[in-house]
Structure 1
Amino acid sequence: MATAAVLTGTLTGIADATPPGIPSGATAKSELATLKVAPDGSMSGYSRTKFPHWIDQGNNCNTREVVLKRDGTNVKTGSDCAPTSGTWKSPYDGGTWSKPSDVDIDHVVPLANAWRTGAAAWTTAQRQAYANDLNDPQLIAVTDNVNQEKGDKSPDAWKPPLTSYWCTYASMWVAVKHKFKLTVNSAEKSALTDMLNRC
């Protein structure tokens, strides 16, 4: 759990975590307009184990370790790929951390939200690909407490504490839903529209 280990956040040379494939605000608005609006489905049958993660990504690294290396600064790892040192700045809240245990890898569109909005009909292989997607803005290193507060909430119920990140967060959320053909509910679409209007 992230506690007093937080650093000042004013350290120079520490970049925010940045996943690949974040669209511009204009592109995200266009993609949002194409998403099917529908009520969320049931949670019946849901389990995180139906989205196998963190899988082997080669070089002794699993998905979590790859994202920790990608999103951190000066990350050093042992032979097993687990980080031994580094610094991580969470763009959700601006917290800066030097212990990997204080950092969670967030699924931008949570697994349970994906289940309710289309993934319940997927194969296990499709869900595994979703849960370990390194090519789209779906995985990001953030402060663990903040990620736990988010849970499986959509943007109408939870937004990053830093309002300056809302445009980017909404753009990432829309990109993932668009890529994986997931639905949005009306409250979620309204919240995303408001956030993209900050872009």
Structure 2
Amino acid sequence: MRTRSGPRVPGALALIAALTLGAAGCVPLEEEPVTPPSGSGNIDQMLSELTVAEAGSMRGYSRNRFPHWRKTGQNCDVRDTVLERDGKSIEHSGCNVVGGRWESVYDGRTFTDPSDVDIDHMVPLANAWRSGADEWDDSKRGDFANDLDRPQLFAVSASSNRAKGDQDPSQWKPSNRSYWCQYAGDWVAVKHHWQLTVTSAEQAELADMLEGCTWESKP
């Protein structure tokens, strides 16, 4: 049973062994524990509790309806907070992160210039809009766009973030296949917390990605 406990530790993800393409598709061979998504509960159960519905309309959507990035703590804003959290050897100029080292979990690429790094929303803003966020007010949408408590914000390569766009896991997955278990678990955790819907194709793909995944148990 996959269980989730304790906070997510960015940069300390344990990778499962390489996946291979078999007769039934890509499946994990030998697995190592994967850091569970932040929060509590069982991922399989959370997936089963998500409401399945057709994707909603994009009518009225604008990124401005999801105000970001908010000012936060000693950093200038949430973007700087994620850059500092996900990077190593961080350098500052005032409250801005201006240097460091980042490894993009989506494709394994490494960067030292923060301008080459995007902050990705695990569940993209446009996807959230089609999944129920269109009914929220802008304040709640701002909470979603700046959510540091769920596995929602990640420093990744700009190219992978832009290739992903607003697609769900049935339409796009990271090229780093060893990250698929973590990716699917994080996606489910975010949608479950924010009570967003999934399409039938999205639900089926998430179930396939989670098949055989092993989460690291924490005391």
SS at match of 1:59: coil
Q: Answer yes or no: is the 8 Å Cα contact 1:17–1:72 preserved in 2.
A: no
Q: CA deviation at 1:30?
A: 1.3
SS at match of 1:141: strand
Alignment match of 2:63 (pick from 27, 48, 52): 48
Q: Answer yes or no: is the 8 Å Cα contact 1:92–1:162 preserved in 2.
A: yes
Which AA in structure 2 matches 1:177? K
Structure 1 partner of 2:76: 61
Cα RMSD after superposing both structures: 2.0
Which AA in structure 1 matches 2:90? V
Q: CA deviation at 1:90?
A: 0.7
Which structure 2 residues correspond to residues 72-111 of structure 1 after superposition, within 5 A? Answer: 72-79=87-94, 81-111=95-125
Q: How many residues align?
A: 183
Correspondence 1:29 to 2:44: yes
Structure 1 unmatched ranges of 5 or more: 1-13
SS at match of 1:128: helix
Structure 2 unmatched ranges of 5 or more: 1-9, 15-34, 214-219
Correspondence 1:117 to 2:131: yes
Which AA in structure 1 matches 2:202? E
Which is helix-richer, 1 or 2? 1
Q: CA deviation at 1:138?
A: 0.3
Cα distance between partner residues in 2 of 1:147 and 1:185: 21
Cα distance between partner residues in 2 of 1:108 and 1:84: 24
Q: Answer yes or no: is the 8 Å Cα contact 1:118–1:183 preserved in 2.
A: yes
Which AA in structure 2 matches 1:39? E
Which AA in structure 1 matches 2:132? G
TM-score, normalisation: structure 2: 0.79
Amino-acid identity (%): 50
Structure 2 partner of 1:10: none
Q: Answer yes or no: is the 8 Å Cα contact 1:16–1:90 preserved in 2.
A: no
TM-score, normalisation: structure 1: 0.87
Which AA in structure 2 matches 1:61? C
